[in-house]
Structure 1
Amino acid sequence: MMFTAWDFLRSTERMLLQHLGMKGDTVGGAHKLDAGVAQGRGSSPYLIDNAQLRQRAGAGYTKSSKKPYEALELTSDEREGKKRLQNGENIFLGYTGYVDTDDPSILISVVPENWPPQNAEEEFAARVYLETAVVFKGSKNQQSSIDVSVLIPKGQGTECDWHRDPRRQKQAQFCRRHEGYGTLCRCKDPLDPQRLRRSSNFIHMSESIPIAMLTATKCHFFYRQLMSLLLATGAAQTDILVLIDGHQEETAQLAAIFGLPVIEHRHEGDAGTSTPLNAHFRFSLFTAFSTFRNASKVIILEDDLIVSPDFISYFHQTAWLLDADATLYVVNSFSLNSCPTVAADATRVRRSQMFPQFGWMVTREYAQEILRFWVDNSDTSWDWDWRLHIAALRRGRYALVPEVSRSFHSGSSGAHINGWSQALIFSNMIYNHDPDVKLKNLHLLQANVYADYFLSELRRAKVLSMVNGFNPCHMETIPENLRPGPVIIHLEANSYSDLNSSLVLLAKCLHTYSDHAIDNYEGVVQYTITDITPHTTLYAVACPISTYWIIKNAMMTSPRPGAMEQVSRYDRAWRLARWYSNTREVRYSNHSATYYGLA
């Protein structure tokens, strides 16, 4: 790891790292601590480091304001440590986490004794075995970014027998230059890219629908996504085009190993604005249809996704609906409500007012139409997907959305998703693992049929009322005489983004997506309640904005004072518990043996 004098962490990060067993202005390095220190026994050093003391001295504080703190317990039995760090009256920060390692005495420690360097150009090197920390600041789910770099001592590279295979020279050259690709580069039984490209099971296809894979800087995420895509049924029959935002040699070489064509897009826009993504999606949509001139449809696949084994089959089963129904404009592979509490039926697809998201298919005609109105690079107030959703461009058209997603967002950070939202929202979602799902009742999704079908479903639904003891946070309180449903509840909501509405309250109770309710049909959100047997369909009607709010003589439910705060805490606790459980199930020490599902 390389350090310069400008690499100081923020004071709160230094405080946390010091509290984990480090000394002074620690920003990296590794040191084998004795077991007592590693497990947090005894007292930590004073938490306030020299930089903090200098700041306090400048503000009129004295050294006497420095206070000792209790050490955080870090144990080897996978119990998480949890401690609030405070200096008497004011809480500095909170830490939650755990150490999962075979040797609990290995913990991060100190950089060289003469850190920080006096000369701004001076550099030091240290070796890192393990380094992890998360800092939450404030009360709005905010956190600081933590950038980690690792310097690996240069040594003689490993030469494998297959490196001399003339057929695998591109792969051998790639593996000599790049680390972290597991089965692709191991010496014993390495992955054969060309064999994998041709290995998927065949499916019935009425037409050719190419896939455009969009990527930028995350080479290993691209590899993970590519592995899941090539393992999907129908992949061997499908043209795949890789579109890179900017020059990324590692990704281009990786795609070439698998025989995939690559087109680089000259990066546009400033970092931190919406322009780079907006421009890359516009370029990719145009380029995909320009490259595959005979294709009437294209699938756009964003970065940071893992796809289901029936990802391609799902699109081919629904493709005919885009031709048959002019009121449909996109087929999505992803659902914001694909959560274990409200989704279960992988055969079900719904009409929705949703925008394109996380793996989607459109027709050539729609692309030609929408590219003329694409958000301009000079306009940084719009994201491309929300722009496509405005009434003037959507023009009353609908998306098709699966009940159970065919893609899973598994990024760590991005333009719109940070580590917090990934861990607590997207990581708690589910996606289909069955390669042979046959979608049902697709004929009902056409406009001339769906409206009548949906109305009949609402009319036969039984009304839920809080008056009769129903508690939306405990679905087992649905009265027995209303089961197996469907059931319907009328909730106050003045808009689909009203964060104080009963619609949001219900979403939090159900531990599903609650930031907005765009995934609805004419103001009705559909859930499959899985906490009771048999599963029950719940229709949540947004009043008064839904056109269906008057079909039942039912009372509208409004949030009572304090309910949102109480339910938010309940939802947060559930998500944290699942996150802890999911994290403990991961064993990175065994990861190389099962790299992305490949033995």
Structure 2
Amino acid sequence: MGKTGRESLESIGFRWYSRVASGEGWVGVARMGVGVVAETTVTWQWGQNHTNPFTLHLSLPRLQQQQHKGYFCKWHNEDNLKKQATFCRQYEGYGDLCRCHNPFTPASRFKQERVDMVEQIPVVIVTANKPHHLYRLLRNLLSIAGGGQTEVLVAADGGGRETLALVQVLGVAAVVHQPQGLASNRTNANVRFALYTVFSHFPQADKAIVLEDDLLLSPDLFSFFHQTSWILNNDPTVFCVNAFNSNSLPDTASDTTRLLRSESFPMYGWMIRRSYAREIVVNWIPLGPGDWDWWLMGSWAQRGRDVVSPEVSRTRHVGNAGAHVDGFEQHLYYSRVLSSTDPHTRLHDLKGVLLHNYMRELQEELQRSEIVTPDPRERDFLPKGRPGPFVTYVRAGTRNDEYFSFRLFLMSTRTYYWDTREVFRGVMRLRLEGRLFYVVGCPLSQDFCQYKPPTVPVLAASPELIRAVTEANNLYEQSLYEYGTRRRYYPAPPNVQAHLLNYII
């Protein structure tokens, strides 16, 4: 936990969180203006392989009723806001939606700047029982350019009362999905339901934008999607436009106008056509282990088609309690993601993204690139004082990167390295301090390995090199955390155990 988090918990009055060790659970409950209501933890005991489960049950009166009987704002009497006033008396935690002075209202969306649109592209939001996350996203979506022009549909898994009341207040349509299965099966089913329902609900729409409730949106999100819709119309080899790029980090991206192709999958805000939705809904991931997004990365679903994404992302992931992203990964990676802040970005050369143009430009770029043999153990491995572009050729048989060649450079440049999703025809592209660097995997890249001169070696990662780069990356990741991991130790004196002080760092 970082300094800000520790100081926040300390200021509230919590005591035990700072003594919880690795693998142990802690729960604290506090109320604004009151302080700590309850705090409990469960510790690892001698001889156990894991901690015991625990549950904290609390029954608390609503704070507004408790402290502010007759809670009332002047706008509560306005006829068009009475539904919002009722919601605010019933539910807590909605900030500016319920404040007395200048609250956020459904009418706010129609005050936003307009975006050039040649067609209506609705948004479907995939959510479960997280109404506060949903409000954060809707508040964001309805406050950016184009928000007042865009139809929105919420696909709520389970349809909690608070969630449905919230969307009614904000004037947004909602459909309820009856939960199916558990864990990933439940999520997979809700995404499928959302894809089917959005095109049923908007029968005239040819395209739809899919968002999840744990995202923050850039101010040019709608402009970005409406500009790139032209690509879906004109290139059948593109099945999806992503708002997110896994290499959109300060060290590896900077150009907000640039679009890229990759053999990736839909993620963190994406746009598809009705024809593609129809295709995948009837060939959905079967029940069992597995996630819908990785299923759509399979060859059966891609069929030689690509994803288009921006060099600099238009969304950011902010949840840390989702199905796939925990607080560790959120802090380590997602909190560093670079996103666009300019609401008026005009994208560069849409025609250049069409497959034949993209292939030709990449071929010409690689042929004129300076060939280098970089050492990924070095942070600044490109030649100094030269503008690039640069290219290196590495050993790679498949995009799974079984020889760890791509991931060496992903780790060295401190970007996403858990897999190699942002690869196009065996070529990975990074922008390092404004200079383009290409990594070509051979023999994977049948289209581009041919431009390697016979005298130039293919770099193959040795176990020693992999170990050195991995260790350097581990040290970097550890530097992002202020404290090491606490470990519980036994035996210890009873008074030490009673105060949970039997830990080492």
TM-score between both structures, scaled by the size of structure 1: 0.71
Question: For 1:70-469, what aligned pairs fall within 5 Å after superposition?
Answer: 99-101=6-8, 106-108=13-15, 128=36, 152-154=60-62, 155-157=66-68, 158-191=71-104, 193-270=105-182, 272=183, 274-376=184-286, 379-466=287-374
Local SS of the residue matching 1:100: helix
| Cα distance between partner residues in 2 of 1:183 and 1:315 | 28
| Superposed CA offset, 1:4-54 (max 9, x none) | xxxxxxxxxxxxxxxxxxxxxxxxxxxxxxxxxxxxxxxxxxxxxxxxxxx
Q: Is the 8 A contact 1:499 1:515 kept in 2?
A: no
Question: For 1:539-550, what aligned pairs fall within 5 Å after superposition?
Answer: 539-547=438-446, 548-550=448-450
* 1:564 CA drift (Å): 3.0
TM-score between both structures, scaled by the size of structure 2: 0.83
| Cα distance between partner residues in 2 of 1:350 and 1:182 | 38
Residue 555 of structure 1 corresponds to 457
**After alignment, is 231-240 or 383-392 more displaced?**
383-392
Q: Is the 8 A contact 2:208 2:273 kept in 1?
A: yes
Local SS of the residue matching 1:374: coil
Q: Percent identity?
A: 34
Q: Which residue type is aligned with residue 99 of structure 1? A: R
Q: Which residue type is aligned with residue 340 of structure 1? A: P
Q: Give the RMSD, CA atoms, in angstroms.
A: 3.0
Residue 487 of structure 2 corresponds to none
| Cα distance between partner residues in 1 of 2:431 and 2:152 | 34
Greater radius of gyration (CA): 1
| Cα distance between partner residues in 2 of 1:282 and 1:105 | 42
| Cα distance between partner residues in 2 of 1:484 and 1:172 | 59
In structure 1, stretches of 5+ residues that fail to align are 1-73, 81-96, 111-125, 137-141, 582-599
**After alignment, is 336-345 or 542-551 more displaced?**
542-551
Local SS of the residue matching 2:190: helix
Q: Is the 8 A contact 2:239 2:307 kept in 1?
A: yes
CA distance change for structure 1 residues 451 and 428 in 2, over 3 Å: closer, same or farther? same
CA distance change for structure 1 residues 102 and 388 in 2, over 3 Å: closer, same or farther? closer
| Cα distance between partner residues in 1 of 2:114 and 2:365 | 37
Residue 501 of structure 1 corresponds to 404
CA distance change for structure 1 residues 334 and 145 in 2, over 3 Å: closer, same or farther? farther
| Superposed CA offset, 1:279-318 (max 9, x none) | 1111111110011111111111122111111111100001
| Superposed CA offset, 1:496-526 (max 9, x none) | 3346512111111111111111211101111
| Cα distance between partner residues in 2 of 1:529 and 1:349 | 16
CA distance change for structure 1 residues 300 and 101 in 2, over 3 Å: closer, same or farther? closer
Q: Are positions 1:478 and 2:378 aligned together?
A: no
Q: Which residue type is aligned with residue 437 of structure 1? A: T
| Cα distance between partner residues in 2 of 1:163 and 1:387 | 48
Residue 538 of structure 1 corresponds to 437
Q: Is the 8 A contact 1:351 1:445 kept in 2?
A: yes
| Cα distance between partner residues in 2 of 1:353 and 1:426 | 21
Q: What number of residue pairs does the alignment pair up? A: 455
Q: Is the 8 A contact 1:183 1:190 kept in 2?
A: yes
Residue 64 of structure 1 corresponds to none
CA distance change for structure 1 residues 190 and 143 in 2, over 3 Å: closer, same or farther? farther
| Superposed CA offset, 1:118-146 (max 9, x none) | xxxxxxxx97269799999xxxxx99999
Q: Are positions 1:570 and 2:475 aligned together?
A: no
Residue 496 of structure 2 corresponds to none
Local SS of the residue matching 1:278: helix
| Cα distance between partner residues in 1 of 2:360 and 2:43 | 52
| Cα distance between partner residues in 1 of 2:42 and 2:257 | 39
CA distance change for structure 1 residues 160 and 282 in 2, over 3 Å: closer, same or farther? same
Q: Is the 8 A contact 1:425 1:575 kept in 2?
A: no
| Cα distance between partner residues in 1 of 2:209 and 2:258 | 20
Q: Which residue type is aligned with residue 186 of structure 1? A: R
CA distance change for structure 1 residues 104 and 287 in 2, over 3 Å: closer, same or farther? closer
CA distance change for structure 1 residues 297 and 523 in 2, over 3 Å: closer, same or farther? same
